[in-house]
Chains A and B, each alone.
Chain A
Amino acid sequence: MVAVNLEHRPRRVLTGNAAAAYAVRLCRPDVVSLYPITPQTEVIEQLEKFYADGSLDCEMVTVEGENSAQNVVCGASMAGSRVFTATSSWGLAFMYDAMLQTAGYRAPVVMVNVNREPPGIQSVCSGQQDMIATRDSGWIQVIAESVQEILDLTIMAYRLAEDYEVQLPVMVNYDGYYLSFLAESIEIPTQTDVDAFLGVLKQQPQRPVLEPGCERGVGAHGLGAGFVELRRKHMAAMERSKQKFDAIDTDFGESCGRHYYGQIETYRTDDADIVLVTSGSAAGTARTVIDAKRQAGIKAGLVKIRMYRPFPKERLALALKGKKAIGVLDRSVAFGWDCGPMHQETSALAAKIGCMPILGFIDGLANMDITKPHIERMVDDIQNAALGNDFREVTWVASGE
C-alpha cells in the first residue's frame, strides 16, 4: 500500500466488517439485501444502523436466506440499481445457483464474502475454502489484506463491476476473524472523493435496464450459438477486468489517497532469488519475515495476490520468471490435485516462467494461525530447494510436517 495526501480525511478505528459497511455507505447503493452469518453479521448490523439513522438511503431487504439475498440483488441490478449484499461460507454455498445466474447475467453486483471454512467439517473459523469453491462461477474475486484495504477495495469493486467494459459481479474477500474482527485505525475517504471516483461511471455508456413496458427480457433461453457467444464475451470481460483493475487502483490512489498495485503486489521481488506467493492477511506476516530473511542474507521476495479471479497470470509470470525457486502459501485445498489452489495455478505458469521448484504450503485452515515461524520455515524450504536440495512438493505446515 502506498499512501499519499493524508491530511484532510477523517481517521477512525474500525473493524474489518465495519470498514466494509462504511465503504458501502460511501458508494450509495440503491438496494441492499442482508442475511446474517458469522463472521459477517457485523457488516449487516452496521448497515442497518446506517439505514436506521438515515445516513444510508436505500431499499433495505432483510431476506429469509442467502439464496434470496443473491437473487434480490441480481434482480435489482438488472433493473438498474446499484446493489450490495454480504455473506460467508455456508451462506455462499446456499446462494451458489443464484451466483451463477448473477454472473451469467453479467449483473454488476458487489458482494462481500468474509472467508470462513465451508460446511462438511463443522467449522466456525477462518479459511479461504469458501471462495475457492466458487472460483469457476464467473465472478471476479479480489482479496484484501488489511482493514484499510477492505474499505478501499470495496469502493474499487463498484468501479470495476459497473465498468461498461467489464459488467461482472465482484466478490470482495477478506479473512474471517483475522480481519473481520480486527480493529485498526484507518482513513476514510470523503463522500466527495468517492462520488468523484465513482462518478466516472456516469460518463460511460449505460447498461440496458429491465423496465415496466420495455418489451425486453432478462435471461432468454440460451440456444447453441448464442450461448457460446455469451460465454466467450463473459470470458473476454474477465480478461479485460485485469488491466481495468490495475487502472482503477491507480485512479483510486489519485482520488482517495492510496493504491495497492492492482492485481498483485510485489515486495522485494526484483532482485530476489526466491519468492513466496500468498494472499490476504498472511501477507502482512510474510512481509516481516521477508525483511528478516533479507537481513540474514537470503534474497527472498513476496507476491501478494489481490485478484484471484481472473487469475493474474501475466503479471504473476513477470514477477516469477527466472527465479530459482518459488513457494505458494494456500489457505485452502484443491481437492483432486493434492495441493493448494494457488499452488496449482502458479504451477500452471511453468511454460511462461521457466523450470524451477515450486513448493506448496497449506496453512491457516480453520483458524490455525499462520505464524512467523511457519513462514520462516517456508522461506527456508524454498531456499533449500533453490540450492538444489531435495524438497517436498506440498507441506501441510500446521500438521508439523
Chain B
Amino acid sequence: MGGKVKKLPKVTQFYRNEDQFSPGVAFCSGCTLELNLRFISRVLGKDAVFVGTPSCSAPVLNGANTGAWHKHAHYACTMTGVASSATGLTRAYQKAGKEATVVCYTGDGCAMDVGFQPLSGAAERNEKLIYICYDNEGYMNTGIQRSSATPLGAETSSTQVGSRARGKTTGSKHMAMIMAMHDIPYVATATLSHLDDYAKKLIKARELAKTGFVYLHVFTPCNVGWKTPTDASIEVCRTAVRTNYFPLWEAEHGEFRITYKVRNPKPVSDLTSLLGKFRHLDDGQIAALQNQVDKRFKIVQSLCGTSALPH
C-alpha cells in the first residue's frame, strides 16, 4: 500500500460492465466511433442488442475483422432497414416476454437520408428501442460524400471545391429537432467531449426506451473526412459545443432542456478553422454558417425557455 493510486475518471461511475470490445478493432486511428461505441456499450450494459448497417461501424459491429470483435448480440441489415429490423427484434422480445435494450447504431447517411423513412415510422409507432445516430456529417465509409448532415460550405468528394464550386450549397437537416417533433419519450444530443452529460442521457435512454422510442444524436468527428489531426477529435467536439454549433440539449416527453449551457459562445470560425473541410470558406460563407448556427440555437433556446440549467 502507499503507492500512488490512479484516480479513475468520474465518468466510470456510470459503467455497468467491462469493455465488451476487444482491442485492435478496425476503426481509423483517432476515430471517435471507437470511443463512442465502447462508451455506449459500458453504460447501456452488455445485454444491449446492436442493430447496424454497412457503414464505418460495420467492420467492428458486424465483424469483417473476426480477430478483433465484441461480445454483444448484434444484427446487420440494409441501410434502409435499421429501425424496421430493430422493430422486428424488439417486438419479438416483447411477444416472448424477454427484457431487451435494442440499440440502432448508424451514421447520419442512414438515419437522415436513406433510412429516414423507417426511422420516422418507428418513432411514430413509438417502438421501444434506442436509435443512436453517430453524426460524422457525411458518407465517410464510401469516401467522404455529402449527406443531409453535411454542413453549409463543407468540402466533400461530392461537394468539391474548384473554380466553379465552393463546397456544399445548402445546410444540414436539424435532425435532432425533427425527431423531437415526433413527440417521442426522449430525444437528446450528445458528444464525446462531455461524457458525463452523455452518460446521463444514455441512462435516461435505457429507462425511457422501456416506454417508447428514444433518439440520440451524437456529434462524432471524422479525422479523415474532416481533415483534422488524429489527436484533435475531442477538441473538435468541445469547440462544436462552445460555439453553439452543436448545443447539448434534451427533450423528455416534450420538456426541452439545455443540459450544458455555454455562457459566452465562441464564433463558429473557432470551429471552422480547426477543420480542413472548411479551409476554403470565405467570409461570406462563414457568416452564412454563423447565421444558421444562431438561428438553430435560437429555436433550441426558445423551446427550452427558462428550464435551461446553468453550466
Chain A residues close to B by CB (< 8 Å)? 30-31, 33, 58-59, 61-65, 67-81, 83, 97-98, 101, 210-221, 223
User: A105 → chain B, closest Cβ, in Å?
Assistant: 9
Chain B residues contacting A214 (CB-CB under 8 Å) are: 73
User: A218 → chain B, closest Cβ, in Å?
Assistant: 4
* Contact call A74/B85, Cβ cutoff below 8 A: yes
Indicate whether B175 reaches chain A with its CB closer than 8 angstroms: no
Given contacts A68-B118, A77-B92, A218-B74, could you give 19 more A-B pairs where the C-beta distance is less than 8 Å?
A: A31-B95, A59-B91, A59-B92, A63-B87, A63-B125, A67-B84, A67-B117, A69-B84, A71-B80, A75-B89, A79-B93, A79-B96, A97-B81, A98-B77, A211-B98, A217-B63, A217-B75, A221-B62, A223-B64
Alpha-carbon gap, A51 to B84, bound state (A)? 21
Tell which of B58, B63, B77, B117 touches A64, judged by Cβ atoms closer than 8 Å: B117
* Contact call B62/A212, Cβ cutoff below 8 A: no
User: A298 → chain B, closest Cβ, in Å?
Assistant: 52
Chain B 79-136 residues near chain A, CB threshold 8 A: 80-81, 83-89, 91-96, 98-101, 117-118, 120-122, 124-125
Q: Residues 51-64 of chain B: 1 if any A CB is under 8 Å from the residue's CB, otherwise 0? A: 10000001100111
* Contact call B78/A220, Cβ cutoff below 8 A: no
* Contact call B85/A75, Cβ cutoff below 8 A: yes
Alpha-carbon gap, A210 to B75, bound state (A)? 8
- Interface-central residue, B62, B77, B84, by most chain A CB under 10 Å: B84
Residue of B nearest to A35 (CB): B121
Chain A residues contacting B80 (CB-CB under 8 Å) are: 67, 71, 97-98
* Contact call B62/A219, Cβ cutoff below 8 A: yes
User: A65 → chain B, closest Cβ, in Å?
Assistant: 6
With A65-B121, A217-B74 known as contacts, the answer to whether A212 contacts B81 (CB < 8 A) is: no
Alpha-carbon gap, A196 to B33, bound state (A)? 50
* Contact call A221/B59, Cβ cutoff below 8 A: yes
Indicate whether B47 reaches chain A with its CB closer than 8 angstroms: yes
* Contact call A75/B77, Cβ cutoff below 8 A: yes
Tell which of B47, B86, B118, B120 touches A67, judged by Cβ atoms closer than 8 Å: B118
Q: Residues 197-218 of chain B: 1 if any A CB is under 8 Å from the residue's CB, otherwise 0? A: 0000000000000000000000
Alpha-carbon gap, A211 to B93, bound state (A)? 8
Tell which of B86, B96, B117, B122 touches A30, judged by Cβ atoms closer than 8 Å: B96
* Contact call B78/A78, Cβ cutoff below 8 A: no
Chain B 207-232 residues near chain A, CB threshold 8 A: none
Indicate whether B71 reaches chain A with its CB closer than 8 angstroms: yes
Residue of A nearest to B49 (CB): A212
* Contact call A63/B93, Cβ cutoff below 8 A: no
The 5 A-B pairs with the shortest beta carbon distances in the complex, nearest first, are A75-B88, A64-B121, A219-B76, A79-B92, A68-B84
Chain A residues contacting B84 (CB-CB under 8 Å) are: 63, 67-72, 75, 98
Alpha-carbon gap, A33 to B122, bound state (A)? 12
B contact residues, total (Cβ < 8 Å): 45
Chain B 139-175 residues near chain A, CB threshold 8 A: none
Indicate whether B66 reaches chain A with its CB closer than 8 angstroms: yes
Chain B 14-51 residues near chain A, CB threshold 8 A: 46-49, 51
- Interface-central residue, B58, B59, B78, by most chain A CB under 10 Å: B78
Chain B residues contacting A59 (CB-CB under 8 Å) are: 91-92, 94-95
With A31-B95, A64-B118, A212-B93 known as contacts, the answer to whether A218 contacts B87 (CB < 8 A) is: no
Chain B residues contacting A62 (CB-CB under 8 Å) are: 125
With A62-B125, A210-B49 known as contacts, the answer to whether A71 contacts B89 (CB < 8 A) is: no
Alpha-carbon gap, A309 to B249, bound state (A)? 53
Alpha-carbon gap, A79 to B91, bound state (A)? 9
Alpha-carbon gap, A63 to B85, bound state (A)? 11
> Can you show 18 pairs from A to B with CB atoms below 8 A apart?
A63-B84, A63-B125, A67-B117, A70-B84, A75-B51, A75-B89, A79-B89, A79-B96, A81-B95, A83-B88, A97-B78, A210-B89, A211-B73, A212-B48, A212-B93, A217-B75, A217-B76, A219-B76
User: B103 → chain A, closest Cβ, in Å?
Assistant: 11
Alpha-carbon gap, A64 to B127, bound state (A)? 13
Indicate whether B72 reaches chain A with its CB closer than 8 angstroms: yes
With A97-B78, A221-B62 known as contacts, the answer to whether A212 contacts B91 (CB < 8 A) is: no
With A64-B124, A219-B62 known as contacts, the answer to whether A71 contacts B88 (CB < 8 A) is: yes
Alpha-carbon gap, A219 to B124, bound state (A)? 27
User: B34 → chain A, closest Cβ, in Å?
Assistant: 18
* Contact call B77/A72, Cβ cutoff below 8 A: no
With A75-B86, A210-B75, A211-B98 known as contacts, the answer to whether A68 contacts B81 (CB < 8 A) is: yes
Chain A residues contacting B72 (CB-CB under 8 Å) are: 215
* Contact call A219/B77, Cβ cutoff below 8 A: yes
Alpha-carbon gap, A74 to B100, bound state (A)? 18
* Contact call A63/B121, Cβ cutoff below 8 A: yes
Tell which of B73, B86, B94 touches A212, judged by Cβ atoms closer than 8 Å: B73
Chain A residues contacting B87 (CB-CB under 8 Å) are: 61, 63, 68, 71-72, 75
- Interface-central residue, B89, B92, B96, by most chain A CB under 10 Å: B92
Chain A residues contacting B59 (CB-CB under 8 Å) are: 221
Alpha-carbon gap, A78 to B90, bound state (A)? 11
Alpha-carbon gap, A31 to B101, bound state (A)? 18
* Contact call A74/B88, Cβ cutoff below 8 A: yes
With A68-B121, A221-B58 known as contacts, the answer to whether A212 contacts B92 (CB < 8 A) is: no
